[in-house]
Structure 1
Amino acid sequence: MAAKRKVENLMALAVLATVVQRPMHRYEIASLIRTRGKDQDMDVKWGSLYTVVQNLAKHGFLEVVGTSRQGARPERTVYRITEAGRQEMLDWTRELLSTPEPEHPRFAAGLSVHMVLPPDEVIALLRTRLGALAESIAARRATLAEHLGDVPRLFLVEDEFTLAMLAAEAAWTSAFLDELTSGTFPDLATWNAYHATGELPPELAELAERGLDTD
Structure 2
Amino acid sequence: MPRRALDNPIVLAVLGLLLEQPSHPHQMLAELRRRSESHAAAITRGTLYNTVAALAEAGWLASQGQQRAGNRPERTVYALTEEGHDELVRRLDSQIRNPQREFSQFLGAVSYLGALGMSGAVEALAERARRLQQRTAADEERLAEALAAGAPRLYVIEAEYALCLARAETTWIASVIDDLRTGSLTWPTGAATPSAPSETPNRKGSNA
Q: TM-score, normalising length from structure 1?
A: 0.80
What amino acid maps onto 1:112 in structure 2?
A: S
Q: How far apart, CA to CA, are the structure 2 residues paired with 1:27 and 1:91? A: 26
Q: Which amino acid aligns with 2:76?
A: T
Runs (4+) of structure 1 exceeding 4 A deviation are 41-44, 196-200
Structure 1 position 124, deviation (Å): 0.9
Structure 2: segments with no counterpart, 5+ residues: none
Q: Deviations over 1:144-178 (max 9, x none)?
A: 22222222111121111111111110111000000
Q: Could you say what the CA RMSD is over the residues aligned between the two structures, in angstroms?
A: 2.6
Tell me: CA distance 1:63–1:103, structure 2 relative to 1, closer, same or farther (3 Å).
Answer: same
Give, in whole Å, the separation in 2 of the partners of 1:41 and 1:96.
Answer: 18
- Structure 2 residue aligned with 1:165: 165
Corresponding residue number in structure 1 for 2:140:
141
> Where do residues 99-118 of structure 1 align in structure 2 (5 Å cutoff)?
99-118=98-117
Asked if 2 retains the 8 angstrom alpha-carbon contact of 1:11 and 1:44, the reply is no
Percentage identity across paired residues of the two chains: 29
Rounded Cα–Cα distance in structure 1 between residues aligned with 2:26 and 2:73: 12
Q: Deviations over 1:93-134 (max 9, x none)?
A: 111211111101111111111112211111111111111111
Matches within 5 A, 1:59-208: 59-150=58-149, 151-185=151-185, 187-188=186-187, 190-191=188-189, 193-195=190-192, 198=199
Question: What corresponds to 1:211 in structure 2?
Answer: none
Distance 1:23 1:161, change over 3 A: closer
CA distance in 2, matches of 1:5, 1:98: 23
Contact 1:67/1:75, CA 8 A, preserved across alignment: yes
TM-score (norm 2): 0.83
Instruction: Give the aligned length.
Output: 196
One-letter amino acid of the structure 1 residue matched with residue 191 of structure 2: Y
**1:46 — aligned with what?**
44
Report the alpha carbon displacement of residue 89 of structure 1 after superposing the two structures with TM. Answer: 0.8
Q: Secondary structure of the residue that 2:78 maps to in structure 1?
A: strand
Larger radius of gyration: 1
